[in-house]
Amino acid sequence: MINFEYSRVSSVKAAVDVLAKNPTGRFIAGGTNLVDLMKKGVTAPTRLIDINGLPLKEIKETAAGLSIGALAINSDVSENETVKKNYPLLAMALNAGASPQLRNAATVGGNLMQRTRCTYFYDIAMPCNKRQPGSGCGALQGYNRMHAIFGASDKCIAVHPSDMCVALAALQATITVSGPKGERKILFTDFHRLPGTDPSKDNTLAKGELITGLNIPKNPFTKNVYYLKIRDRASYAFALISVASALELTGNTIKNARLAMGGVAHKPWRLTESEKFLVGKTASRENFTKAAELAMKGARGYGHNNFKLKMGPVAIVEALMKAMV
């Protein structure tokens, strides 16, 4: 880890101003991912801007839905009574992520910003276009068991690691950011990027912008929801495949559906075609299987991760069946 300078700020404007003067700096809150990256030599910010003093920790229900500050702690969000009652899919996804110790330190904003856990990205001796553009992608011909089956490119096949973000994609959240040009909102599904020709940029934040919070619109998904996470071990492991499922039912007929997958793409992967198919259908294993088949169109394995092509549809069906319970 190289030497770096440190600043502590007490307002959003001050944070944005300090970063504007230190373009190679980084904001830090819980630091559960950033510090690891610094230790590994993957990133080397010249200044850390501590934003823990900003008033961005509130979790509150509004007329429009749920508002969560960027500095809200993951465990506080998952244990919040309003979240558990009215947005249970989010609580389930948060509780599936990391370990209790990390959930007690990690923030919502940091969760949105966390970077891939691809081993080639973390190993600075290996080629990685995400870490060093133009160096190649070691995972393409290497050990790629954890890697993408959707939306990848010949530049990068890494996946986004967050569980929380999969639920937020399904719940159609909106992210609020502040920067040198003021405040703006970003639809959650537009926030994270696919790799394309430049996988080094994970999201659509403009230069100097800071995440200040997110909003989840009111929705009917308070009962028939489930977050399924398939992983190598029950504790502190990233998803091989995860599925966020939410159904609104009238009797046994599906009035509305939301589906998103994790562990399969460079961003949380929303299954809009499957959602559209399910609306108006009977909630049955047969229809869930057809929706899962639709979801897997265009999926491609890279060798070691070919098993995801079979695991994916099975996971979707299981998540939807468990949402019915």
- Grouped pLDDT means (10 residues each) for the chain, 325 residues: 93 98 97 96 97 98 97 98 98 96 97 98 98 98 98 98 98 98 97 98 97 98 98 93 98 98 98 98 98 98 98 98 96
d(CA 295, CA 319): 13
Count of domains forming the chain: 2
Angle of helix 285-295 relative to helix 308-323, nearest 10 degrees?
140
Asked whether residue 69 is domain-assigned, the answer is: no
Task: Note the pLDDT of residue 2.
Answer: 81
Asked whether residue 61 is domain-assigned, the answer is: no
3-state secondary structure of 176: strand
d(CA 257, CA 221): 9
Asked whether residue 230 is domain-assigned, the answer is: yes
Strand ranges across the sheet with 269-270 = 224-230, 241-250, 253-262, 269-270
Which residue bears the tokens 């492991």? 237
Global pTM value: 0.97
Asked whether residue 292 is domain-assigned, the answer is: yes
Task: Note the pLDDT of residue 236.
Answer: 87
Task: Note the pLDDT of residue 163.
Answer: 98
* β-pair partners for 6: 48
Asked whether residue 70 is domain-assigned, the answer is: no
| Full residue range of the structural domain in which residue 27 is found | 1-49
Give 324's contacts (C-beta < 8 A, 6+ positions apart).
224, 247, 283
* CATH code, domain with 276: 3.30.390.50
User: Half-sphere exposure of 155 toward its Cβ, with a 13 Å CA cutoff?
Assistant: 16
Task: Note the pLDDT of residue 116.
Answer: 98
* β-pair partners for 244: 227, 260
* CATH code, domain with 44: 3.30.43
Task: Note the pLDDT of residue 70.
Answer: 98
| CA 188, 108, 177, 60 torsion-angle sign | positive
Task: Note the pLDDT of residue 313.
Answer: 98
C-alpha distances out from residue 295 to 27, 261, 299, Å: 36, 10, 9
Asked whether residue 132 is domain-assigned, the answer is: no
Asked whether residue 16 is domain-assigned, the answer is: yes
Asked whether residue 21 is domain-assigned, the answer is: yes
* β-pair partners for 183: 178
Task: Note the pLDDT of residue 235.
Answer: 84
d(CA 131, CA 143): 18
Go through the chain and tell me how many residues it has: 325
